[in-house]
Structure 1
Amino acid sequence: MITTRPGYPRWHTASAQGPRSLNADAVGAYAAAGGPGVVFALADGVGDDPAAARAARAAAAAAARTPVHKGPVEAVLAAQRAVREQAGGDAVLVVAMPAAHGGYRIAWVGDARAYSWDGTTLSRLTTDHTLAEYFRARHQPVTPRMEHVVTTSVRTTEADEIGTAETTSTGLLLTSDGIHKPLAGGGIRAVLAQPGAGAAELVEAALARGGSDNATAIYVEPLEADVTTVRFPVAA
């Protein structure tokens, strides 16, 4: 899906079930009347079952509808309250809120990621909350299995465990691990560098690379992209 609205950035979202039995990823995007822009949220349900899918949908919706002045950490906590109202299910989550300087304020739990993209440079804004990253930061051996074990989640996190970051970039990418694990940074960069590429092309590339999970992306085009792709009619 590609969304355009006067006064707001052009953004794309795409998701695919992949080889899983259902799609437990979810996205949310909400622009409050009179607000400074769009709040974006991407949630990845923990597991491959209906409870995980419900948790992801509840988390993404609650996070995206959090007022911008409350900040992205409060958006994660709002998602937590929504998930805890359900009998079961959990998710990881990344939220991006418009910042006063024109970029975004980010908050996350688990291994959902945010990147900035200016049309040339891809910069990762988040650090995975996984067992692998925990031991890697302590210069300890890491096994492949540790990459898939998260140390924070929407249901379980404490407020001081929520990751935060900021970017001045207007170009933004949020991904579930079904995108960034098969593609890594180089693969993502190669896709976005192609003219007209966005969320759908990232999903297709991740599955073509052998992705074994749900694959979901939200891509907000950098404002500079509008300048180079829209022609202004000039009288002869």
Structure 2
Amino acid sequence: MAGYPRWHTASAQGPRERNADAVSAYAVAGAPGITFALADGVGDDPGAGRAAQTAAAAAARTPVQSGPVAAILNAQRALRELGGTGDAVLVVAMPFPGGYRIARVGDSRAYAWDGTMIRKLTTDHTLAEYFRARHQPYSPRMEHMVTTSVRTTKPDEISTTEVVGGGLLLTSDGVHKVLPPATIDEILADPARGAAALVETAITLGGTDNATALFVEQPQVDVAAIVTERFPSAAWSSVA
């Protein structure tokens, strides 16, 4: 849509039985900016896919003025209302004048993009990160064991940050745990390749998980100053 920053999303199933990742982007008529959400279902079953889709949609539809923490709590409420035991990790980015406010649980990530290099904005909620921060030994398997999730998190466990200016990249661990930062930089140097090339490269290099990316190019206007007359929900997910 004219006036909005250009953004791209892509996802691939990889060698899993199903794709349990989901992306949602939503702008409320008369409200500023677009909210972005990327969720990664916990596990490889239909419940994980439904959880990711439900969480991403509920988070993206949260009013910007409520903030990204409220978006994750709305996602939690939606999951609990859905029933079952399906769960997901989630990262949400909401625009404010000059940048984005970000909240996350689990190991989906957000990066800033300055046109040359990415800069990691989030810290994974994993057992490996927990022990690494305390200078304790950990096993490679702990990199994939999350300590928070949409269904289980408490409000004070939701991590937040913000970024001013530039572009934005959201990824599931099937991308960022396969591609080193230098490779991501090289791919994003050509914005037209963007999310699709990140996902394709992650799978080609041997990724064993679903791989999903949402890339927001550097805006030409203030992302929070735009007011839309009509912008329907743009959501993507693949659930077997």
TM-score of the aligned structures, taking structure 2 as reference length: 0.89
Q: Which of 149, 153, 160 matches 2:149?
A: 153
1:27 aligns with 2:27: no
Name the structure 1 match of 2:104.
Answer: 108
Q: Which amino acid aligns with 1:9?
A: P
Q: 1:197 offset after TM fit, Å?
A: 1.9
Tell me, yes or no, if the aligned pair for 2:20 and 2:41 is still in contact at 8 Å: yes
Q: Which amino acid aligns with 1:184?
A: P
Name the % identity: 70
Aligned residues: 220
1:181 aligns with 2:180: no
Q: 1:170 offset after TM fit, Å?
A: 3.4
Name the structure 1 match of 2:224.
Answer: none
1:121 aligns with 2:103: no
Tell me, yes or no, if the aligned pair for 2:199 and 2:213 is still in contact at 8 Å: yes
Q: 1:121 offset after TM fit, Å?
A: 2.2
Q: 1:195 offset after TM fit, Å?
A: 5.5
Tell me, yes or no, if the aligned pair for 1:104 and 1:170 is still in contact at 8 Å: no
TM-score of the aligned structures, taking structure 1 as reference length: 0.91
Distance (Å, rounded) in 2 between the aligned partners of 1:65 and 1:7: 20
Q: 1:178 offset after TM fit, Å?
A: 0.5
After superposing on structure 2, the runs of 4+ consecutive aligned residues of structure 1 that deviate more than 6 Å are none
Distance (Å, rounded) in 1 between the aligned partners of 2:48 and 2:110: 21
Name the structure 1 match of 2:134.
Answer: 138
Superposed CA deviations along residues 143-165 of structure 1, whole A, max 9, x for unmatched, are 10110000000000000000100
Distance (Å, rounded) in 1 between the aligned partners of 2:219 and 2:38: 21
Runs of at least 5 residues in structure 2 that lack an aligned partner in the other structure: 221-240
Distance (Å, rounded) in 2 between the aligned partners of 1:211 and 1:135: 24
What value does the CA root-mean-square deviation take over the aligned residues?
1.2
Q: Which amino acid aligns with 2:187?
A: V
Name the structure 2 match of 1:87.
Answer: 84
Superposed CA deviations along residues 64-88 of structure 1, whole A, max 9, x for unmatched, are 0000000000000000001111212
Distance (Å, rounded) in 1 between the aligned partners of 2:172 and 2:141: 17
Q: Which amino acid aligns with 1:122?
A: I
1:60 aligns with 2:56: yes
SS in 2 for 1:59: helix
Tell me, yes or no, if the aligned pair for 2:191 and 2:217 is still in contact at 8 Å: no
- The range that moved more, 195-204 or 70-79, is 195-204
Tell me, yes or no, if the aligned pair for 2:187 and 2:193 is still in contact at 8 Å: yes
